[in-house]
Chains A and B, each alone.
Chain A
Amino acid sequence: MEILDSFRTDKFPHIWCSGCGHGIVMGALVRAMNKLDLDHDKTVIVSGIGCSSRATGYLNFDTLHTTHGRALAFATGIKFSEPELDVIVITGDGDCTAIGGNHLIHAARRNINITTIMFNNSIYGMTSGQYSPLTPQKAKATTAPYGNIEPNFDPCELVQGAGATYVARGTAYHIKKLTRFIKRGIEHNGFSFIDAVSQCPTNFGRKNGFKSAVEMMQWQKENTITIERAAKASEKEVKNKILVGELHHNNRPEYTANYEQVIEKAQKGGDN
């Protein structure tokens, strides 16, 4: 399948700023889907609200651009009613961990077979740079001109704690790895979460001393460490570094499969 077949090319140019990392992450998703040779008619892509969530408009699949934070809620409905469809969710860090935080926890807990790619630029870009739950403490935002006083948290640990069965982190810089993680996430039967660290030069970079998108990607390179290297490195080397890699992978019963069993039981008219 040609890569371009995955796009609604008549919808370009896209709305993203030059240097934005979201196009890179969307590219990784498309390459991953292409490698898997997913049936374009049987793949549904769902997004929330924000810069990242505009990606659904450019992708030539059944696409659903929902309300803020609710991508996983809609996606759960789609997967539940048509379990044979591949359902992929595109969301941003604010959309996913603030407004949609509860949907995230419970999708992970249910282990529903949905792949979530969180485009993580640590800021609400579309609305001009308000801090999100993933804005690092002390970073500047339009709503934190003196520096963010709130501690951020690790969404990968959150979803793992809640029960996700595939958790990985890549970055716009580590594009090959990111593509691989998305591919594995789609292949995995259960709730998959991929934290895709991305850059927003316009509303995060400018406020935080980055002169260009390139500098931000350089930052991604220098401030991350792969879990393979981290395993061998000294504590000092790992400290304050963002872990990149497959952070968690296990198997347990999937939600729609469990539900299928309930339907069968009920239709047989047996005891509950």
Chain B
Amino acid sequence: MREKVRIPAVEEIETKDRKKPSVAPQDYEPFAADEDLVPPMASFGDGYRYHVTGLFHDETGFPHGKAEDADRLGRRLHQKIEGNRDEIVEYESWELEDAEIAVVAYGSVTRSALTAVKAAREEGIKVGLLQLKTIWPFAQEEIKELVNQVDKIIVPELNLGQLIGEVERLSNLEEQVVGINRIDGELIKPATIIEAIKEGSESNGDFR
């Protein structure tokens, strides 16, 4: 399978430089964070001569084998992600405004899911698609909205059920969330998803 990739022109790409330290090298603590929990970072070669390690470290960047250092660092990194949820979480949605059924997809199954949703719409079924592009932090708010809006959520996955657990824990209705799972090396076909969309909806006049 081949398809086109569009590479944006240089002018379209926004460059965001890291925050640089404003203090003198001898006062620099490379892992002392500002209020936004992001520490200003000097580049190697700038004259700050600092140390970066994969070991748990304190604000100076050096490891001391202290549990409280590890705890503080782990929590800051976690908070930094959690606090910037809105900027990190990426998703795309199709036809969800009036949807009564939703497909939630992550990764390559999105292709089949989108084809299925479009085909079902042609037939007048009110179905939409939420494609998750990030998996953590989880698109909690978006999924919560969805469980309150639709009657059924279909989660197609090329495994025996991973993402579905995250969706299920936000649902209060029994059997609201159904999975389509395939692990035989073949892709999930749009027809299979269309089938799942239609299942149980035939008798329901509201869908048409």
Contact = CB atoms under 8 A, between A and B. Distances in A.
Interface of A: 8, 11, 40-42, 44, 49, 56-57, 60-67, 78, 82, 84-85
A266 B154 CA distance: 47
Contacts of B48: 62
A78 B52 contact: no
B49 A11 contact: no
A44 B44 contact: yes
B44 A40 contact: no
Contacts of A60: 49
Interface residues on B, range: 10 to 19
Interface in B20-70: 43-55, 62-63
B27 to A, nearest CB: 15
Interface of B: 43-55, 62-63
A42 B52 contact: no
A56 B54 CA distance: 12
Q: Which 3 A-B pairs have the closest CB atoms?
A: A65-B53, A62-B44, A41-B47
Contacts of B44: 44, 62, 64, 78, 82, 85
A63 B54 contact: no
A62 B54 contact: no
A63 B51 contact: yes
Contacts of B53: 56-57, 64-65
Contacts of A85: 44-45
A67 B43 CA distance: 20
25 contacts: A11-B62, A41-B45, A41-B46, A41-B47, A41-B49, A44-B44, A44-B45, A56-B51, A56-B53, A57-B53, A57-B63, A61-B49, A62-B44, A62-B49, A63-B49, A63-B51, A64-B44, A64-B51, A65-B51, A65-B53, A65-B54, A66-B54, A82-B44, A82-B45, A85-B44
Contacts of A42: 45
Contacts of B55: 65
A41 B47 CA distance: 5
A78 B47 CA distance: 15
A65 B50 CA distance: 11
Given A44-B45, A82-B43, 13 more contacts: A40-B49, A41-B49, A44-B44, A57-B53, A60-B49, A62-B45, A62-B50, A63-B49, A63-B52, A64-B51, A65-B54, A65-B55, A67-B54
